[in-house]
Homo-oligomer: A and B are copies of this chain.
Amino acid sequence: MPQIIECVPNFSEGRDRAVIEKLVAAVKSVPDVRFLHQTSDEDHNRTVLTFAGEPSPVVEAAFRAIKVASERIDLSRHEGQHPFVGAADVVPLVPIQNVTMQACAEYAHVLGRRVASDLNLPVFLYEEAFTRADCRNLADIRKGGYEGLNQRMQADPPFTPDYGPNQLGPAGAVVIGARDFLIAFNIFLQTDDVTIAKAIASRIRERDGGLPKVKALGLLVDGRAQVSMNLTDYRVTPPHVVVDAVTRLAHEIGVEVAESELIGLMPEAAILAAAQQALGLPQLLPDRILENALRSDTDS
């Protein structure tokens, strides 16, 4: 089986179609990279691309997209709901098949060095590619957004990048790392009161004593309050458990939930877990899906 890694870069542009198309084209310009998904959000003003393949072409595609972002996205004119520090804001590499996390962390360093040397951008390495404890958590790097990072980089002692200049230009910094697969999952509330989303987010997230492996923010998106989440280990807290918890907390406050939103992809196991609960089945394994059974190479 070939080695497969996934890359899910987040770019600080969700409105300008011409720029978004160029980001996509940069990824697709690399042979042997499988382009999997694209989400652009005008309120977040953010585009998330998902692509996968063997490590070398995936790293090449990530570099080309970062290059386009650094040339086309000017953060001095950026407005959007989502915190950001870079034009190519966050670039995680994810082990999918036959690759260790350690190998992904090394690819993150390879990519980071090239971004610093060829594009002259500051690069911070996060999560499993971290070199310093204060960079492990993405939120710590991104604290205060572009302005906050800029001030900390100029402070004494300065908060210095792993690679590249200790200075932010209009393309900002690039946060590159290696992490486990995560599910980006948002729940809209039937209210425009963002303080309710923030209150639910703080009840739900692990950092404040909520559900394990859940990160959450309250945002105002498209005129509606939204609980915006990353589920960093769906085996520990799957998305349907999060939906139940957010619904319960919203009802306590007297607010209804509207629809959910999935960014990118979800592993089959998380979908099966949700269906298992909805159907009241004690277990629902992949071999019970007709299409899987027909595709399976092993008779049993």
Contact = CB atoms under 8 A, between A and B. Distances in A.
Interface in A261-300: 261-262, 265-268, 271-272, 274-275, 277-282, 284, 287-294, 296, 299-300
Contact of A293 (B239, B265, B272): B265
Contact of A262 (B257, B278, B288): B288
Interface stretch (A30-38, A63-71, A172-180, A213-221): A30-38
A299 B28 contact: yes
Given A274-B275, A274-B278, A4 B266 contact: no
B280 A277 contact: no
A4 B290 CA distance: 12
Contacts of A262: 279, 281, 284, 288
Contact of A294 (B96, B240, B258): B96
A13 B292 CA distance: 28
- From DSSP, what is the main secondary structure of chain A's interface residues? mixed
A267 to B, nearest CB: 5
Given A34-B294, A278-B243, A289 B261 contact: no
Contact of A240 (B185, B260, B279): B279
Interface string A3-24: 0100000000000000000000
A266 B240 contact: no
Nearest to A271: B275
Contacts of A121: none
B268 A290 contact: yes
A37 B275 contact: no
A260 B37 CA distance: 34
A187 interface: yes
Contacts of A28: 299
A99 B260 CA distance: 38
